[in-house]
């Protein structure tokens, strides 16, 4: 009886190290697999080609989160699409989010930074960390998206590539200069609530022209810019 029990104990003692070795091997394999998955390159998503696509990117950045930072949205859009990056801050000011104190000024900084880098010929755009690090409650973002979805569906129906010479090459630099000058009007206008949305709306037209390669939208943007400058000039001169 004593011999049988000693054999059982000996057998049990032998199983412990072997099980530990098997568990250790499984852990090493799992860690190696996880490391391979982390090193796997991600395929960049194509930039949005219309307003609805941009809204989808913003919504994906807000998925399963209470707040969303500017950097998270930029990462979702990509930092090589001049039109999409210009459209993002413009539609934020057009939306009800413009009621947040100093938000139009922050968006102005982004627009000026993007347009300035475009005029310098950069292909990948940099935005100050002080701007991209700011966060907005996703609840407010979803409210703004709900406000923008209906007009976005209407606008996207009329967008199409045409008169592409106005949105490529030198045409892109002229649009960047126009948007830069328009953006400089926004901080003083912030004193009157929601008036910055008018300027941002014109910038949005230019951005949509670049996103969809639509020269007709660019012509509309130039016409609206002249009308806006003329209206502001008449108000200050008379």
Task: Tell me which residue of 48, 52, 122 sits closest to 78, measured CA to CA.
Answer: 48
Which pLDDT score, from 0 to 100, does residue 7 have? 46
Q: Which of 66-70, 108-112, 164-168 has the lowest mean pLDDT?
A: 66-70
Which pLDDT score, from 0 to 100, does residue 238 have? 60
Rg of the Cα atoms in the chain: 27
Residue 197 has pLDDT above 80, yes or no: yes
Region 175-184 average pLDDT: 94
Any idea how long the chain is? 238
CA-CA distance, 226 to 232, in Å (whole number)?
10
Which pLDDT score, from 0 to 100, does residue 111 have? 92
Which pLDDT score, from 0 to 100, does residue 22 have? 53
Distance of alpha carbon 82 from its chain centroid, rounded? 11
- Over residues 207-221, the pLDDT tens digits come to 999 999 999 999 999
Structure tokens at 88: 């993002």
Residue 105 has pLDDT above 90, yes or no: no
Assign 212 to helix, strand or coil: helix
* Banded model confidence at residue 95, pLDDT cuts 50, 70, 90: confident
Positive or negative, the Cα torsion across 202, 109, 94, 122? Answer: positive
CA-CA distance, 56 to 152, in Å (whole number)?
11
Q: At what angle do helices 103-119 and 196-212 cross, to 10 degrees?
A: 40
Say if CB 98 and CB 87 are below 8 A apart: no
Residue 169 has pLDDT above 50, yes or no: yes
- Over residues 45-66, the pLDDT tens digits come to 566 778 888 888 888 888 877 8
Say if CB 221 and CB 129 are below 8 A apart: no
* Banded model confidence at residue 223, pLDDT cuts 50, 70, 90: very high
Region 191-195 average pLDDT: 72
Say if CB 96 and CB 141 are below 8 A apart: no
- Over residues 64-78, the pLDDT tens digits come to 778 888 788 887 876
């Amino acid at each position: 009886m004593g011999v049988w029990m000693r054999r059982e104990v000996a057998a049990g003692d032998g199983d412990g190290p072997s099980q530990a070795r098997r568990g250790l091997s499984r852990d090493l394999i799992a860690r190696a697999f996880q490391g391979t998955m982390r090193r796997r390159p991600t395929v960049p998503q194509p930039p949005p080609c219309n307003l609805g696509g941009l809204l989808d990117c913003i919504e994906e950045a807000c998925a399963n989160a209470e707040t969303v930072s500017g950097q998270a949205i930029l990462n979702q859009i990509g930092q090589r699409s001049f039109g999409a990056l210009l459209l993002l801050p413009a539609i934020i000011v057009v939306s009800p989010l413009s009621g947040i104190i100093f938000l139009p000024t922050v968006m102005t900084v982004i627009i000026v930074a993007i347009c300035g880098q475009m005029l310098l010929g950069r292909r990948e755009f940099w935005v100050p960390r002080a701007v991209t690090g700011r966060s907005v409650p996703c609840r407010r973002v979803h409210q703004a998206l709900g406000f923008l979805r209906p007009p976005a569906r209407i606008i996207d129906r009329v967008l199409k590539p045409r008169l592409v010479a106005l949105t490529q090459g030198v045409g892109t630099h002229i649009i960047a200069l126009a948007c830069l000058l328009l953006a400089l009007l926004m901080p003083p206008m912030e004193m009157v609530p929601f008036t910055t949305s008018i300027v941002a709306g014109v910038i949005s037209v230019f951005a949509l022209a670049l996103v969809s390669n639509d020269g007709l939208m660019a012509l509309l943007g130039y016409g609206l810019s002249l009308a806006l400058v003329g209206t502001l000039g008449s108000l200050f001169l008379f």
